[in-house]
């Protein structure tokens, strides 16, 4: 038998399989209708284990693992199909629809915006990239930015979420699960760290900056053999150096802060990588979804059991959604239990997405953070 004949045989088998698959999915629809009527959960781990145990006993030993993979995939697809039937609408789905209808067609050019730090901070640069003419109110902490938006003091808040060199800004990620807000846009800006000191500064013994900036420049700092001190912000670090009577301290900050605080640039390009970018998110109190939104962020938790994370990821894979970022964060007060922050590129107009997030929101351990564009 040559290859063409073997392939013809496979084609015939596939034709039979696809007819059986369609028949199975039609039956799955009946299961979904029954579960919807009785208020039953889509997931039935006991039933799935029973099926796999039964079927793996009917194949040769060399095919046991492949049979498990095949049926786990089939269960993922079946659950996704059931969810599409059961979760056609939900409070979250209605909230998303309302936001799509009520959000203006253009992002505002002017607004009162909360930022962490002080004049010259990278948050200011991100804010001015997002808004044409913002009125910026500065706060000492990231929590202060969240509170300002929550209390209505500011319409929007701008916060760093991730750096290409040093990873996520964990303080912001942890605060995201404690506040009710929506991400409405994001911006990525290039970070150009320089070493700043007063005119006439002598041998530098200590360097001030934000912990992210210190981490992004730790190769230089180790080679220089200096002490470091963490500040709330790179701009705050520059201000501290400018106001200090010491002439042996410096700040890692931006070139803009050199002008603002009258400091001298001692050394340029001190970051570990030339490809140093930070992503900032713009948050609002209410959900706003502007035209062209193609990115979604969410936070969810999973059961503390083997395979739970796989089950979560498989839900997205089953409907063709690619997760671009996933990060675990410990849940305060719970030993070795984690929440997961996810980002994905997908349109909020996708019916499959709305069904899926509606299903996840029904679990009660899920927060839809927003649908937005990144500039």
By annotation, the residues acting in catalysis are 278, 280
Among 258, 195, 200, which residue's Cα sits nearest to residue 226? Answer: 195
Q: How far apart (Å, rounded) are the C-alpha atoms in residues 66 and 121? A: 54
The values of phi and psi at residue 72, to 5°, are: -65, -40
DSSP code for 76:
H
Element (H or E) spanning 280, and its range?
A: strand 277-284
Q: How far apart (Å, rounded) are the C-alpha atoms in residues 2 and 22? A: 31
Strand partners, 249: 206
Q: Show the tokens assigned to 37.
A: 């009527």
- Reduce the DSSP state of residue 141 to 3 states and report it: coil
Q: How far apart (Å, rounded) are the C-alpha atoms in residues 280 and 126? A: 7
For every residue of 197-233, DSSP letters joined together read E-TT--S--EEEE-HHHHHHTHHHHHHHT-EEEE-S-
Cβ–Cβ < 8 Å for 298, 369? yes
Determine the angle formed by the axes of helices 234-243 and 122-130, rounding to 10 degrees: 130
């Amino acid at each position: 038998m040559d290859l063409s004949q073997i392939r013809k045989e496979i084609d015939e088998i596939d034709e039979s399989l696809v007819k059986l698959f369609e028949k199975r999915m039609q039956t799955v629809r009946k299961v979904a209708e029954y579960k919807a009527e009785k208020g039953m959960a889509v997931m039935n781990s006991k039933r799935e284990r029973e099926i796999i145990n039964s079927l793996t006993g009917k194949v040769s030993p060399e095919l046991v693992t492949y049979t498990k993979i095949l049926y786990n995939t089939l269960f993922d697809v079946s659950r996704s199909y059931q969810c599409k039937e059961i979760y056609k609408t939900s409070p979250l789905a209605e909230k998303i629809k309302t936001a799509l209808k009520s959000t203006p067609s253009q992002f505002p050019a002017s607004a009162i915006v909360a930022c962490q730090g002080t004049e010259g901070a990278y948050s200011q640069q991100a804010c001015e990239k997002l808004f044409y003419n913002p009125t910026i109110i500065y706060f000492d902490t990231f929590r202060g930015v969240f509170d300002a938006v929550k209390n209505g003091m500011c319409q929007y808040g701008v916060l760093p979420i991730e750096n290409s060199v040093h990873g996520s800004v964990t303080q912001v990620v942890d605060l995201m699960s404690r506040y009710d807000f929506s991400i409405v846009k994001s911006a990525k800006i290039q970070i150009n760290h320089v070493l700043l000191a007063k005119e006439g500064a002598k041998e530098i013994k200590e360097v001030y900056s934000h912990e992210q900036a210190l981490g992004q420049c730790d190769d230089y700092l180790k080679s220089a053999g200096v002490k470091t001190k963490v500040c709330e912000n790179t701009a705050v670090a520059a201000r501290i150096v400018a106001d200090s009577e010491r002439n042996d301290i410096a700040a890692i900050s931006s070139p803009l802060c050199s002008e603002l605080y009258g400091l001298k640039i001692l050394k340029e390009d001190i970051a570990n990588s030339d490809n140093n970018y930070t992503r900032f998110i713009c948050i609002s109190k209410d959900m706003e979804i502007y035209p062209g939104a193609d990115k979604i962020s969410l936070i969810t938790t999973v059961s503390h059991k083997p395979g739970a994370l796989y089950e979560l990821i498989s839900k997205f894979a089953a409907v063709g959604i690619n997760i671009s970022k996933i990060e675990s964060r410990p849940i305060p007060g719970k030993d070795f239990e984690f929440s997961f922050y996810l980002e994905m590129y997908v349109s909020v107009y996708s019916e499959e997405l709305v069904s899926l997030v509606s299903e996840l929101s029904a679990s009660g351990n899920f927060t839809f953070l927003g649908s937005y564009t990144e500039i």
